[in-house]
Amino acid sequence: MLADLNEDERALKQGLDAFAEGRLRSHIKPFVDRHEFPVDLVREFAALGYMGAAYDPGHDGGGLGVRGAAVVAETLAAVEPGFAAIYLCNSAPMTAIARFGSDALKRRWLGPLCRGEIIASFGVTETHGGSDVAGVKTRAVADGDDWVLSGSKVFSTNAGTELHGLSTVVAVTDPELGPKGLSTFLVAVGTPGFHVGKANRKIGWRIAPSAELFFDECRVPNSAMIGGRGEGLKQILTTLSLGRILVAAAALGLSRKALALARDYGATRRIGGQPIFAHQGLTFPLADAMTHIHAAELMVRNAAVLADAGRPFRLETSMAKLFASEMAGEIADLAVQVHGGYGVYDEYEVSGLLGEAKVLQIVEGTSEVQRLIIARELAS
């Protein structure tokens, strides 16, 4: 961990370590094995105030900004990446409300989300669109003082869980305007016409269910719109960019976990009568992994500092997300290799890390999307 954490961030890290290394590490494995949402552990985590660590204290948040949120994501992922996923996927709708929502929406939703009374899901991606946010097909049609939503979303993490209370949904309000015709809405669970589909099992984020959202003439009031009409694309792109910092932080935590598992197992393993770490073929890659982890930490921290300072951060965020998530896959692969044949057995914790790392390379924009963003910056 970097030496420049301020007093509040150090206190946050200390409390998180106590939860993650104590409660989470000792209780999470059965949930991972069953691909089951750990509702009581999430409630306990939320009751400690960590869900709202980044947000305005006026809405019961911790006021620690993106820097604080990155500390939370990294610390959780170093124990269980799926628990970090629950946190960061809840943070995306919270960020949209905090940055773009009216005072009324903040009073109605941000406080309960910060206190962990409910959690939220993000409804952006559609079956045909993938990373193309501008290709959204879900429609919102004005009807008096209401909007009527019709369409569906996929990969909405946290949806359908016992704590799920709200989804943010981006929809087309003005189709003739193309990408400028998107708007964002808050839809409460239980709203007529809003249904959550069945969650499917995944190779990563196994305790963080991802489901399809369905809107069948779902009526919401005009006050449920976040910000102004036609501002949806800007809102979602900003929210995704901020989310990439947390994904990068989670990848950093996962990489630390993989390196620790490789180190601990390798310290006890012998080949030809010699400790496995007597062979440079393994010690050098582990040295590279440690170096890359340090570089990723600097990149995550820099992107978070820029975001909190209100400075441009999109390029730095994409570079951090690309580097950290690709690194996580490489170090997870190395950790499995160190374990040899045992690395592919379920009872060894390392076996699940490749799937967890792969999810991080896809969510909030694939590695290819991040390279496209970076390349466009080079050409500008």
Catalytic residue of the set 80, 316, 356, 364:
364
| DSSP class per residue in 156-183 | EETTTSTTEEEEEEEEES-GGGGGGGEE
Paired tokens of 76: 């959780």
Burial 356-376 (b: 16+ CB within 10 A, else e): bbbbbbbbbbbbebbeebeee
DSSP 109: I
Instruction: List all residues 6 or more positions away from 332 whose beta carbon is below 8 Å from its beta carbon.
Output: 254, 255, 258, 350, 353, 354, 356, 357
Paired tokens of 12: 């946050």
Task: Give the separation between CA 102 and CA 368, rounded to whole angstroms.
Answer: 35
The alpha carbon of 128 is separated from its chain's Cα centroid by a whole number of angstroms, namely 22
**What are the CA-CA distances from residue 85 to residues 49, 51, 72, 142 (Å)?**
17, 12, 11, 34
- Active-site annotation holds for 80: no
CB 138 within 8 A of CB 169: yes
Q: What is the total residue count of the chain?
A: 380
Task: Give the separation between CA 296 and CA 73, rounded to whole angstroms.
Answer: 14
Just list the catalytic residues.
364
